[in-house]
Amino acid sequence: MPRTVRIGYFSPIVNFPARRLVIWTCAVAVVAILAVLSVGPSGVRAAKCKIVVNGAATQSNVSPCVVDQTFVGIGNTIVNRIMAKANTGNNNTGGGAIQTGSATAIVKITNRVNSTSAGSVVINEVMWMGSGESPSDEWIELRNTTSGDIDLSGWKIENALASNDTVIIPAGYTIPANGFFLIANYDVTHSDSALVLTVAVDLVTNISLHNSYSQNGALVLKDAEETVVDQTPVPAGSDWPAGINDTTKQSMERNLIAGDGSDFGSWHTCIAADCNSSSFWKTAGGPNYGTPKAANSTP
């Protein structure tokens, strides 16, 4: 004869095995907890985060640090919860969360931001026409609009290479909090680069942008999970949203308040005097205008 339990104060006695009720209740609780961990308390998707254990940078599920881990987003910052096991000793004096398991290690969590958030990184400036040194002296600048570093590994920019091909950022590249990431066809030491040597190019690759915007197509920035993070406007003709390709070469800049990148009103041509300074160009007062690795000009 199975034991019976009363469900609710006023409900009748139900002939339901107590053991099955306990198992069923536990199963429901586990499902609810997993749902919270996978989505996060505010509906933000869980995201992987680079961590440092005992002074060594590691990634998810890589020995000796992590067997299992979950990072749950609060707003845009991935800092809330870590579930992990470590097989290293507790010898890191850095701050952070404490891992639990068969051994203990102190973990320092870099302030990573959920990479799937639209607008967390924006296409900030485009030298689509090249420079006075070479029409191939093209570059694209990204800007991190958040207060946390963002891992750009596997991110891509569509229509940034010849034949409308895609730039893919290799593993190991990060854009700093409120900082910039410059992708260029030439390093500043190249003879065809017009940029001053103090402007640090972060990634040299075969940037190739068509001078006809309709033939080039919109630049589309996606994260490693193929989520669209930002993009330039859909072409309405051969003219780029901004920028000048004439006797002067003037970049296309995002407004300081970035807005929607797909809106033509979010862009302007770099025309301010500071755009032409020796802070950016080997030849001050020459034909080139732009603000690489710095805040954009005011239109």
Between 57-71, 125-139, 216-230, 280-294, the lowest mean confidence (pLDDT) is in 57-71
Q: What per-residue confidence (pLDDT) applies to 119?
A: 86
pLDDT of 99 strictly over 60? no
CA separation for the pair 164, 219 (Å, rounded)? 10
Q: Categorize the per-residue pLDDT at 48 as very low, low, confident or very high, splitting at 50, 70 and 90.
A: very low
What is the tens place of the pLDDT at every residue in 273-287? 999 999 999 998 999
Q: What does the domain layout of the chain look like in residue ranges?
A: 42-114, 121-289
With a pLDDT cut of 70, the percent of the chain lying above it is: 61
185-222 tens-digit pLDDT:
999 999 999 999 999 999 999 999 999 999 999 999 99
Residue 37's φ and ψ, nearest 5 degrees, are -65, -35
Is the CATH code 2.60.40.1260 the one for domain 121-289? yes
